[in-house]
């Protein structure tokens, strides 16, 4: 670090900031100069970081220091997330604050508040088109409400996660408005083209995100006489991170939001943030440079904040976003391929591919923390390992077709309900939408008033959660899944939503169901209490820390998955039957007696019979 800079920071009253910037300055500068070669913009960034540090609330700073001294804090076995849209869950931010008791009842200590920043109704992409990064949507409340909520959450030990949608802004963002009026300074914050020449070149190599609902990666702006790059919807304008002004300003927004008491920043659509002609514009090296800078900036200003990367890609593309041990990037990433492979397993009753997928994840360094989930607010894309499936004679296109037919409930022994998403007539590709409960048969059984089918559906819901909790990482529930909420078809009556079938599984929380959670004569009570038992086991058994050893065990039974976990002298084996028939797992763990944690029965993990859609959590006796 240069002497004069050292002196400047030394004059600072706050030694904590000084220490941190001293530690990280050289690397940050190096990365910044590599991308931008602009030392005055870098100096501005450092000055502003200091300002954000100084304005950061004392309580948040105390928490930062605590977390700095316990860097593994988020790997604990009690970590359990829940995601929801604020209006769907409780009307507005104040409503969420008044429902924190329910969140605690769910054993949840991390809530992901889905996008709540200002956006234009009808052109919002579920809030992922932000028009003002410093304003809360009026219908949801104010920044003060947010600060009050984060403080209330912290008092209860609940972490708060929010989206940082950094790839694009809404076309109604003030930058976009100025760009549209021809202001060159603002046009350079986006990708503007006065002819289709360059866009056409991009289109040769850049795939499409929304092939049917928003085809193409560019939008013609009649009034401006320009094309603008729009990877997602036409009203979501891609930001140009070649421009250091964009990077700096977005980092200031990031720090501003962190200072409102946010614990986890979900970096939306992160692989897309750097564009380069003749590439796919995904996962380019510069993206990693930027994420690493974000990590350093947060380590300096707000080290208690975690970065969660949204990388919906195949495993080889996902893991690099953790960075390296010396140069970490994201703290957490979604376990997306495992999620999709789970549903493949539900449809095929064959755990082979899932076992392989888990083996890949389990072979990664234990420092990596994955977020596990059965579904989220987005569609399920069938990003499976088709290389492996192909060796069993299963072709990609026909298999995707099968999965989509299966989950729409059109084939064979399927009890699922749901809808396709972005069915592309050219590639034959389509993704899938539905709630966990609907995909497991709760909707169909309820409609048909078929008690036996309902019993089976509830068992499947519980088995899938039990299996998800056993994976290495942190589980995240989608709000409503804990009471078996089914698809919401009312989005079809809303002109702002009808074109986007993801709203099928984004229905409002049904509080009538939540009123029955104590009543195990109801479906919702059975699911809620079943999950509750699993959650309690998870937080009392230390083998569920995210950095425990986790591995799979061959069961010699096509439909039964076996996962082992070991930590600090303790061992648990989980068995999960993905079939509607009773099965036997031909495992042979000869190291003594085990106790099954749900029933309390003593068991030996040797040739274990498991009922249809059942599971066991077996803990080795001391
Ligand atoms: C992310 C969000 C998705 C949104 C997209 C564009 O993938 O999860 O809902 O459509 O980003 O911002």
Q: What is the pLDDT of residues 37-84, one digit of tens each?
A: 999 999 999 999 999 999 999 999 999 999 999 999 999 999 999 999
Atom of ligand 1 nearest to the CA of 377: 9
**Residue 128: CB within 6 Å of ligand 1?**
yes
User: What is the predicted pLDDT for the residue at 305?
Assistant: 98
Distance CA 234, CA 237 (A): 7
Atom of ligand 1 nearest to the CA of 502: 9
Task: Give pLDDT tens digits for 3-46.
Answer: 555 545 445 558 999 999 999 999 999 999 999 999 999 999 99
Residue owning the nearest CA to atom 4 of ligand 1? 128
CA 189 – ligand 1 centroid, Å: 20
Instruction: Compute the mean pLDDT over every residue in the chain, rounded to the nearest whole number.
Output: 96
At residue 478, φ and ψ (nearest 5 deg) are: -90, 125
Does the pLDDT of residue 535 top 60, yes or no? yes
CA 338 – ligand 1 centroid, Å: 19
Considering the candidates 268, 299, 379, 524, report the single residue annotated as catalytic: 268
CA 148 – ligand 1 centroid, Å: 27
Q: Which helix (H) or strand (E) holds 159?
A: strand 159-164
User: What is the predicted pLDDT for the residue at 372?
Assistant: 98
- Quick one: what percent of the chain has pLDDT higher than 70? 98
Q: Residue 611, Cα to own-chain centre: how many angstroms?
A: 32
Helix, coil or strand: residue 125: coil
Does the pLDDT of residue 252 top 70, yes or no? yes
User: What is the predicted pLDDT for the residue at 162?
Assistant: 98
At residue 347, φ and ψ (nearest 5 deg) are: -75, -30
Rg (CA), the chain: 25
Distance CA 89, CA 149 (A): 14
CA 465 – ligand 1 centroid, Å: 24
Does the pLDDT of residue 500 top 70, yes or no? yes
Pocket test for ligand 1, best of 112, 229, 269 (most atoms within 8 A of CB): 269
User: What is the predicted pLDDT for the residue at 8?
Assistant: 52
Considering the candidates 310, 481, 524, 596, report the single residue annotated as catalytic: 310
The better pLDDT of the pair 413, 272 is held by 272
Confirm whether 268 is a catalytic residue: yes
Distance CA 446, CA 451 (A): 8
Alpha helices in 419-522 (DSSP H): 436-440, 442-448, 451-470, 511-514
Sign of CA dihedral 218, 221, 222, 225: negative
Distance CA 350, CA 9 (A): 60
Residue owning the nearest CA to atom 9 of ligand 1? 378
CA 232 – ligand 1 centroid, Å: 8
415 and 439 Cβ atoms separated by less than 8 Å: no
424 and 209 Cβ atoms separated by less than 8 Å: no
User: What is the predicted pLDDT for the residue at 431?
Assistant: 95
Does the pLDDT of residue 315 top 90, yes or no? no
The better pLDDT of the pair 11, 239 is held by 239
Residue owning the nearest CA to atom 11 of ligand 1? 269
**Residue 125: CB within 6 Å of ligand 1?**
yes
**Residue 126: CB within 6 Å of ligand 1?**
yes
Distance CA 264, CA 160 (A): 6
User: What is the predicted pLDDT for the residue at 4?
Assistant: 53
């Amino acid at each position: 670090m240069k002497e004069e800079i050292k002196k400047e920071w030394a004059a600072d009253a706050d030694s904590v900031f000084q220490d941190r910037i001293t530690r990280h300055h050289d690397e940050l500068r190096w990365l910044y100069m590599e991308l931008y070669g602009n030392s005055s913009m870098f100096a501005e960034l450092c000055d502003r970081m200091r300002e954000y540090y100084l304005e950061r609330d004392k309580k948040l700073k105390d928490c930062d220091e605590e977390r700095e001294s316990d860097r593994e804090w988020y790997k604990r076995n009690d970590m359990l997330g829940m995601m929801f849209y604020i209006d769907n869950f409780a009307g507005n931010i104040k409503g969420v604050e008044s429902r924190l008791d329910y969140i605690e009842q769910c054993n949840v200590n991390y809530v992901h508040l889905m996008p709540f920043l200002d956006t234009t109704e009808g052109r919002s992409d579920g809030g992922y088109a932000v028009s003002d990064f410093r304003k809360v949507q009026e219908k949801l409340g104010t920044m003060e409400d947010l600060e009050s909520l984060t403080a209330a959450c912290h008092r209860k030990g609940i972490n708060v996660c929010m989206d940082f949608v950094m790839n694009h802004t809404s076309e109604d963002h003030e930058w976009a408005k100025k760009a549209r009026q021809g202001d060159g300074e603002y046009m350079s914050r986006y990708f503007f083209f006065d002819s289709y020449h360059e866009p056409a070149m991009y289109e040769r190599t850049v795939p499409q995100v929304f092939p049917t609902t928003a085809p193409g990666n560019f939008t013609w702006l009649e009034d401006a006489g320009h094309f603008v790059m729009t990877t997602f919807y036409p009203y979501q304008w891609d930001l140009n991170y070649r421009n250091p002004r964009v990077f700096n300003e977005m980092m200031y927004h990031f720090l501003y939001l962190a200072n409102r008491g946010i614990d986890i920043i979900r970096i939306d659509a992160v692989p897309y943030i750097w564009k380069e002609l003749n590439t796919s514009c995904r996962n380019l090296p510069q993206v990693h440079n930027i994420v690493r800078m974000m990590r350093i900036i947060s380590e300096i200003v707000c080290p208690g904040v975690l970065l969660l990367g949204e990388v919906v890609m195949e495993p080889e593309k996902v893991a690099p976003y953790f960075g390296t041990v010396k140069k970490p990037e994201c703290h957490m990433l979604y376990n997306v391929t495992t999620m999709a492979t789970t549903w493949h397993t539900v449809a095929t009753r064959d755990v082979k591919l899932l076992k392989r997928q888990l083996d890949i994840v389990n072979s990664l360094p234990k420092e990596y923390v994955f977020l596990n989930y059965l579904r989220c607010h987005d569609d399920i894309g069938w990003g499976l390992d088709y290389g492996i499936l192909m060796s069993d004679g299963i072709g990609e296109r026909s298999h995707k077709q099968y999965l989509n037919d299966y989950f729409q409930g059109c084939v064979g022994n399927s009890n699922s309900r749901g809808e396709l998403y972005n069915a592309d007539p050219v590639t034959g590709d389509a993704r899938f939408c539905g709630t966990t409960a609907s995909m497991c048969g709760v909707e169909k059984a309820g409609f048909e008033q078929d008690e036996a089918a309902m019993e089976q559906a509830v068992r499947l819901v519980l088995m899938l959660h039990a299996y998800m909790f056993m994976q290495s990482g942190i589980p995240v529930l989608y709000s409503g899944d804990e009471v078996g909420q089914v698809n919401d078809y009312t989005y079809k009556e809303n002109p702002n939503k009808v074109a986007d079938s993801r709203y099928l599984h984004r229905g409002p929380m049904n509080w009538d169901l939540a009123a029955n959670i104590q009543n195990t004569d109801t479906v919702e009570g059975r699911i809620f209490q079943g999950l509750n038992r699993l959650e309690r086991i998870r937080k009392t058994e230390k083998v569920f820390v995210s950095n425990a050893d986790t591995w799979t065990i061959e069961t010699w039974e096509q439909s039964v998955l076996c996962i082992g976990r070991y930590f600090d002298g303790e061992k648990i084996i989980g068995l999960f039957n993905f079939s509607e028939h009773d099965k036997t797992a031909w495992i042979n763990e000869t190291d003594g007696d085990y106790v099954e944690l749900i029933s309390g029965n003593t068991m030996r993990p040797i040739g274990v019979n498991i009922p249809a859609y059942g599971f066991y959590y077996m803990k080795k006796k001391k």
